[in-house]
Chain A
Amino acid sequence: MTAQDQQPDTFVFDETYGAEARKIIARYPEGRQASAVMPLLDLAQRQHGGWLPTAAMNHVADMLDMPTIRVYEVASFYTMYNLEPVGENFVQVCTTTPCALRGCATILDACREELGIDVGETTSDNKFTLQEAECLGACVNAPMMQIGDDYYEDLDAKSTKVVLKALRNGETPEPGPQSDRKGSEPAGGLTTLNNGAAGAGG
């Protein structure tokens, strides 16, 4: 399941992540440290370039005084932990019903075309990994994709390629809707509170 040759022999939190980990552990009462397993796995994944090697899970188990298998269970259950190496930009295209209705298939195709890889693959320069994801909770701005921690919404084939190109060039495109609307405002302009009158309290 895991790429054996890429598994590091050891893993330890560096200073920054270690301090953060201790802060999280301290939130839980004595004897209940195991509750910190999910945030710690997230920290470990961040430190290790977006994926969790077995050594990192063992390190977390060690820190929390848990049997290692209990950590493996958690890490393998949640899809947001990657147990295999991923590229610098982890692209997750939502393909659940609302996004599907709004044309996520074209977004996925645009990604395939732009990156030259299929779902589940990583580009040879290790810059991108493409994944399908289940509902990421941004249905109102469907279709959308998540890259790293950022949501790119209101996509079409063109804007998808623009975002990916920018990332390839080392830029950070503005997250959020790639259309001209702001946040989750109505797509065709404001439909209410549009007469300029001040609202209550205003």
Chain B
Amino acid sequence: MAKLTIDDVEIEVPDGITVLQACELAGVEVPRFCYHERLSVAGNCRMCLVEVAPGPPKPAASCALPVGEGMTVKTNSPMVKKAREGVMEFLLINHPLDCPICDQGGECDLQDQAMAYGAGNSRYDENKRAVRDKDLGPLVKTQMTRCIHCTRCIRFATEVAGVEELGATGRGETMEVGTYVEKALTSELSANIIDLCPVGALTSKPYAFVARPWELTRTETVDVLDAVGSNIRVDARGSEVLRVLPVLNEDINEEWISDKTRYACDGLKRQRLDTPYVRRNGTLEAASWDEAFAAIADNVKNKDGSKIAAIAGDLVDCESVMALTDLMEGLGSPHTDCRQDGAQLDATVRSSYIFNSTIAGIEEADACLLIGTNPRIEASLINARIRKRWLRGGFSVGVVGQDTDLTYPHDYLGAGPQTLNELAEGSHAFCKILTKAKRPMVIVGQGAIAREDGAKVLSAVRKIAESCGLISDGWNGFNVLHTAAGRVGALDIGFVPGPDGKDVAGILDGAESGDIETVFLLGADEIDTRRLEKSFVIYQGHHGDVGAHCADVILPGAAYTEKNATYVNTEGRVQRAWRAVFPPGEAREDWTIIRALSDTLNKTLRYDDLAGVRRRMALQNAVFEIIGDLRPSDWDKFGELGVAEGESFTSPVSNFYMTDTISRASETMAACTKALAEAVEEKTGTNG
């Protein structure tokens, strides 16, 4: 600990931190542009100047100055004020005075700090510098004349995102930030540089000239476009979600979000189901809720429960799954499943289907084995954590599956089950690395378990976990990486086949053979709906995707920004989503639809408010009692003994930008998909 005096207040701070950090601990605000706590120190904007004694009699950049015992720091002396005003004057020399037409206006660091340190008029009457704008792809809009060369974007791309594509070319007055050779950024986290940019040089392209920050209603909620459960802020005006921004959560997303999380929100405005539909004479016609419910009642009444089945999709919230579970039980159907992709997960052992090490726990690990997963596109922020851990050194990563660029180097061990079996038997060289490591971890992706021999794969991984010391006191290195935000929650509720129940494959087979006559799809679009042609399909969801197209009755539900709901992320962390806007038209919150339907079917559910459903959820599984925090899960036996011998593992995600009904409806995500395809084409040279 070092003792120092900041603005006449004595404070004790940890050794090795910087003066700027010490000032923050003391509650003194120091203006800055280039310094960012999650990036390396650059020390080039000079805005954080303070007066420090002992030392040379000139202001010092506090962001790059380590604290020393007995230091006296002044942040409000005349010298400091004059120095900062000088820096501000220099920054403004080449910064255009275009705040009225700048999208950063109202949330601009330069604007705010100019209020405190800027002069009322300019002494500069030379020509200002102008810089050609860069094309960084469909997400990031540039206005490079506004750039103040803080280099935050360069450091983010290089350090956090792990794609060295941005740089500063030229020097002095001709220095420019950009890619030099025009190209779109190839990172899944690229749009975070918009948040990092302290001025309006990098702004959001899809959000350009849409709204001013003070017009927006802000709602802090969670993301569902992957299974990470990133904390987000939804900014809306009226009934429209205009943008999504990250919210700090050290345990999950830190302060980043993926480009899909940020930009798929325009998909919430397109292809929406805003009224119930009933199929009459082969065509879907808009109907009233009563008519839709009556059509369902006609079909379901007096039908044996064994002829009814339900599949829950990837974006479903826990409340609606709970209600559907109870409804199906009321109807006497054991055919329920939430594993659309056929993942061979065992809902009875919680530690077998969650990310036990936790996302923050990755930073404590010292060896990592990835099996059948490409975390870069399946869960970009988890990949960023792995990279963050790798940057610190002493961390080896092994990959079984596809060999791709993960933004950090890794040992490629093999493509499929054969390598996995070698690892399970302990004959593979990587076992030694795992055994030697203090906190080894393994991450299994859906690509390894959503297949016929998935249960055998799981048991092989369990064997690796147990024999290589992944499970110890206070550490569980076994992790399943999900791609669906609704999956863990549905498994926690137990939305899996009951006794003699059929799983998704069985339901689809039954629908073809006629054993299953009625199928309830709760937001399930990622199945082969052509196999449901013979059966009566009820689709409840928010987008007119493949599920809705094959339906006989459509019940319009709410998307994640439109309901107060519960989601469980891949770690098993229970989080609440909050309503930012109302669902469009006749659409309703999902669990209330099922509750109303249960009434029509004379199987009335025993709860009629949100608190009631949540009490029911907590009764079903105690994990729902704790919100936001984690409780370790007991280790138990799971999987199916045997030797996995299927084909190589492939990631379930082939296109990062389009994985669900919302992102498939998004024009921005379509533009990204196109840009990515073009970039790949250029790389492989197929364009001649």
Contacts and interface: CB of A to CB of B under 8 A. Distances in A.
B170 A69 contact: no
Given A69-B164, A76-B169, 17 more contacts: A67-B164, A67-B165, A68-B180, A68-B181, A69-B166, A69-B167, A69-B179, A70-B167, A72-B167, A73-B167, A73-B168, A73-B169, A73-B180, A76-B170, A76-B171, A77-B170, A77-B171
B359 to A, nearest CB: 27
Interface in A35-77: 54, 67-70, 72-73, 76-77
A69 B134 CA distance: 15
A99 B62 CA distance: 41
10 contacts: A54-B181, A67-B165, A68-B180, A72-B180, A72-B181, A73-B169, A76-B169, A76-B180, A77-B169, A77-B170
A126 to B, nearest CB: 26
A68 B186 CA distance: 14
Interface residues of A, number: 9
Nearest to B181: A54
Interface of A: 54, 67-70, 72-73, 76-77
Contacts of A76: 169-171, 180
Contacts of B169: 72-73, 76-77
A84 to B, nearest CB: 13
A30 B24 CA distance: 42
Nearest to A77: B171
A68 B166 CA distance: 10
A76 B167 CA distance: 11
A179 B372 CA distance: 76
Nearest to A75: B169
Nearest to A68: B181
Interface in B178-194: 179-181
A201 B164 CA distance: 60
Contacts of A73: 167-169, 180
A68 B169 CA distance: 12
A38 B181 CA distance: 20
Interface in B623-680: none
A73 B180 CA distance: 8
Nearest to A54: B181
Contacts, number: 28
Contact of B165 (A54, A69, A77): A69
B180 A70 contact: no
A70 B168 contact: no
Contact of A70 (B164, B170, B171, B181): B164
Contacts of B165: 67, 69
A119 B181 CA distance: 27
Nearest to A67: B164
A164 to B, nearest CB: 29
Contacts of B179: 69
Contacts of A54: 181
Contacts of A72: 167, 169, 180-181
Interface in B141-184: 164-171, 179-181
A70 B165 CA distance: 8
Nearest to B163: A67
A54 B171 CA distance: 18
A160 B664 CA distance: 69
Contacts of B180: 68-69, 72-73, 76
A73 B179 CA distance: 10
A-B pairs, top 7 by smallest CB distance, nearest first, are A67-B164, A69-B167, A72-B180, A76-B169, A73-B167, A77-B171, A76-B170
A72 B175 CA distance: 12
A56 to B, nearest CB: 13
Nearest to B180: A72
Residue of B169, B170, B179, B180 ringed by the most chain A CB atoms within 10 A? B180
Contacts of A70: 164, 167
Nearest to A76: B169
A52 to B, nearest CB: 12
A72 B168 CA distance: 9
B687 to A, nearest CB: 13
Interface in B570-615: none
B475 to A, nearest CB: 32
Nearest to B170: A76
B176 to A, nearest CB: 9
B406 to A, nearest CB: 16
Residue of A69, A73, A76, A77 ringed by the most chain B CB atoms within 10 A? A69
A76 B168 CA distance: 9
Nearest to B166: A69
Nearest to A72: B180
Nearest to B169: A76
A183 to B, nearest CB: 33
A110 B181 CA distance: 38
A67 B164 CA distance: 6
A72 B170 CA distance: 9
A153 B14 CA distance: 59
A43 B164 CA distance: 25
Residue of B165, B166, B168, B169 ringed by the most chain A CB atoms within 10 A? B169
A61 to B, nearest CB: 10
B331 to A, nearest CB: 59
Contacts of A77: 169-171
A133 B45 CA distance: 29
Contacts of B166: 69
A106 B595 CA distance: 93
Contacts of B164: 67, 69-70
A37 B32 CA distance: 33
A68 B181 CA distance: 9
A72 B164 CA distance: 12
B177 to A, nearest CB: 10
B336 to A, nearest CB: 50
A70 B169 CA distance: 9
